[in-house]
Amino acid sequence: MRIFFLFAALFLATGLVSAQSLKPQSPYPMQAGINQGTSDSLVGTHYWYFHALPGTNRLTVRFKNPTTLYGASMNTALTVTVTDDKKTWRVVKTVTGNRTQSEATFTSNKLDKKVTIIVSVAPPNQNLLRMGGDYEIEATGDVAFGGAGSAEDPIVRTYDPMTMHYSEEYGATKFLADGTVVTANGFTGTWKVFDKESRIYVVALGRIRYSLQYRPGYGLVRPKEPYMIEVQELRGCSGQKRSPAVFIDTKIMRP
């Protein structure tokens, strides 16, 4: 039986779950209620999953806050792809910053067996300007969810710094579970939690001390400038080296 479901209808609410995976082979388990993400063309596609149970179900996605350029709105679209884990079918829809096109809804016929559903949310194919924005996604009806993921602190992963140690590049940077930081170019440091609920950390790297906030699927940003990435989370399959970037609003200008 072919299953056509999933949808997109994002709306403001409390109790948001904020995490996602950049690895297609290891999607992040959705949780009950609204799941939140920030799509970014310089970071990559987000991957989620949940289980559709016998009965009916629905997935809702809404594009909340498109990225702006110097305060002006851009013609941004996010591509939402829904498929089963066997990839026997798929449904693709887009949501945009236009109020009449900011939601996409996928619903299923009545299912007779459990099916694992994979959902990807892709930003525009653009690597010069930072394009994308905030979105929400929620599965309702006869559904079940996977585990909450790793018990490790969410900051524990590999990053591509967008800043430099004075005039020297850090190179690929790993935040380790023991509270230490190591970089490909030989710098070392430490990290510790400052505000767990807000995911704000104090990071000492080389001779520089940072106050950074972790945004899942995005990276470490300045707490008062949530779109100003200091340390960008590496996408799942990217080994490409990039030069450091100078950020002006959402635009990137490379030296």
101-128 pLDDT, tens per residue?
999 999 987 888 999 999 999 999 887 7
Domain locations in the chain?
A: 17-144, 157-253
CB 135 within 8 A of CB 119: no
Per-position b or e across 30-68, b if 16+ CB within 10 A of its CB: bbebbbbbbbbbbbbbbbbbbbbeeebbbbbbbbbebbb
Residue 2 is predicted with a pLDDT of 40
Nearest residue to 43 (alpha-carbon basis) of 150, 181, 155, 159? 159
Residue 19 is predicted with a pLDDT of 57
Residue 108 is predicted with a pLDDT of 83
Q: How many helices (H) and strands (E) does the chain have?
A: 0, 23
Q: Give the dihedral sign, CA 83/97/139/36.
A: positive
Architecture of the domain whose range is 17-144: Sandwich (2.60)
Per-position b or e across 223-236, b if 16+ CB within 10 A of its CB: eeeebebbbbbbbe
User: Which segments of the chain have a pLDDT < 50?
Assistant: 1-17, 237-255
- pTM tops 0.85, yes or no: no
In eight-state DSSP terms, residue 221 is E
Residue 71 is predicted with a pLDDT of 64
Residue 217 is predicted with a pLDDT of 73
Residue 148 is predicted with a pLDDT of 56
Residue 72 is predicted with a pLDDT of 65
3-state secondary structure of 67: coil
Residue 112 is predicted with a pLDDT of 87
* Residue 138 to residue 118: CA distance in whole angstroms: 13
Residue 38 is predicted with a pLDDT of 87
Residue 151 is predicted with a pLDDT of 63
